[in-house]
Amino acid sequence: MEAFFLSAGIVALAEMGDKTQLLSLLLAARFCRPWPIALGILVATLANHALAGALGAWATTLLGEQVLRWSLGLSFLAMAGWVLVPDRLDGAAPVGASRLGVFGATLLAFFLAEMGDKTQVATVALAARFDAWALVVAGTTLGMLLANVPVVWLGDRLVQRVPIRLVHGVSAAIFAIMGAAVLAGWGR
């Protein structure tokens, strides 16, 4: 269960202020239909993180213990720095609801927005770290939902009240501690 709870917590913290959280706000404002948006976020995240988790689990079969330890440790340290960089939406607009519907537009926009995102990279690293692919994917998906779904219903009110810098700092500290722990060989 450590893999599940740690994955959920790390991703929920890392998602605060992330571009997908901004995308959630944009979708909620544009479509005003929270249930299909929330369902689209769930399905897109499950698909994206299942692929990322599978990649992480596969990497453990290819890499030797020392290479994996150093790769993971350095990846977690890199994530600690990356999470401190604020995200913005970069002008990506969701696909029109007329062709795909609200659910389809959300699914496509979220899936694409998560490609190469820090939470996807974190999912790869966490799946490689823990021998519990399904628990990591379930945890990272829950973390995404915890960070993004409230924004769909509460919007601006929630985003304005959360101290994003503090959340990013805590998230960065957790990644740094995990990186140092892995490099030190703790928990082998």
- pLDDT, averaged in runs of 10, over the chain (188 residues): 93 84 82 93 97 91 78 74 62 55 92 86 90 94 95 72 67 76 72
Tokens found for residue 51: 């692929």
pLDDT of residue 47: 97
| Per-residue pLDDT at 41 | 97
135: part of which helix (H) or strand (E)?
helix 133-154
Range of the domain at 158: 2-184
| The pair of three-digit structure tokens given for residue 160, joined into one six-digit string | 């304005």
What does the pLDDT read at residue 159? 54
Residues 73-107 pLDDT 10s: 787 787 677 667 665 544 444 445 557 789 999 99
In the prediction, which pLDDT does 91 show? 47
Provide the pLDDT for residue 30.
Answer: 78
Tell me which DSSP letter residue 90 carries.
T
Cβ–Cβ < 8 Å for 76, 68: no
The number of folded domains in the chain is 1
Nearest of 125, 177, 182 to residue 7 by alpha carbon: 125
118's tokens: 């820090």
Given this model, what pLDDT does residue 88 score?
54
pLDDT reported for residue 179: 76
Task: Please give the model's pTM, rounded to 2 decimal places.
Answer: 0.74
Token code pair at residue 15: 């998602």
- Spatial separation of the C-alpha atoms in residues 38 and 44, rounded to whole Å: 10
